Amino acid sequence: MKTTQTLFCLILLSGGLWAAPKRNTVDFYLSDPNRYLGTTVSLAVSHVEPMPYRGNLSNIVFFRVYTDGENGMRSLPLAVNSSSARNFSEEYGTKTAAQPKDYRNLTGKFRFVDSEIEKKALSTGLWYIGIMPGSYFIDATTDGQLDGVFDWYPEKTAAINSGKNVERVSAKEANEEDAIASAKKLMTAAAQKAGKKATIVKQDVIPLRDKKLCVLEYFLE
């Protein structure tokens, strides 16, 4: 009986230690990021801090936005149009502490800097302010300027969310057409070996110094 009571207490304790993050916080979206990629999310923001960006994305200003976290404040980078920057900082506040009544609701697209478009991401200069390949950030711009820089892939996200195993192949050739063809041959060979059909969910062509690199992601069914 004593052992049963001890186990019950441990279960209750572990449940408290592993409580789900509060909704509309940075921790909430980072706890299951694939579910929210490319979607508009809402954050309960405590305050914001300007980020000194000097890259080649014109008319874009970056802030770090803070929400409640499991162990204090948690933050993510956020992009806004420069024309909105002044109003943004006034609306959300730049003070370093806030009471719950001071929190403001913020919406934006949840984005990810894909490691396979690292060259494109680094060419923007965002690594100066800590937005590296593998990072998440909030896109609150209104003109779609970042759409061509940080493409998200709804087909890939849907495949992952449905439990499919996404595979990857890559090929380098002298030109883009040949690189795509070679990558597709590798994918087709893998599908034939498994006796399944391949469905492409993502295709990137990355320019290298003297070649083109094609990266294909796909699932088999």
In a domain, 28, yes or no: yes
In a domain, 130, yes or no: yes
In a domain, 6, yes or no: no
Identify the CATH number of the domain in which residue 109 sits: 2.40.50.140
Note whether 107 and 144 are same-domain residues: yes
Instruction: Give the domain extent around 194.
Output: 155-220
pLDDT at residue number 219: 92
Cα gap 66→51, rounded to integer Å: 13
Helices (H), 44-133: 85-92, 118-123
In a domain, 13, yes or no: no
pLDDT at residue number 55: 66
pLDDT at residue number 13: 44
pLDDT at residue number 210: 84
Note whether 148 and 200 are same-domain residues: no
**Spatial CB neighbours of 104, under 8 Å, sequence gap ≥ 6:** 44, 45, 91, 92, 93
pLDDT at residue number 98: 46
Q: Measure CA of the first residue to CA of the last residue in the chain; give whole Å.
A: 50
pLDDT at residue number 116: 47
pLDDT at residue number 164: 84
Note whether 130 and 177 are same-domain residues: no
In a domain, 180, yes or no: yes
- Below-50 pLDDT ranges, the chain: 1-2, 7-16, 97-98, 100, 116-118, 121
Note whether 138 and 31 are same-domain residues: yes
Note whether 148 and 40 are same-domain residues: yes
Domain count, the chain: 2
pTM of the model: 0.59
Of 99, 128, 152, which residue is a domain's last?
A: 152
pLDDT at residue number 130: 62
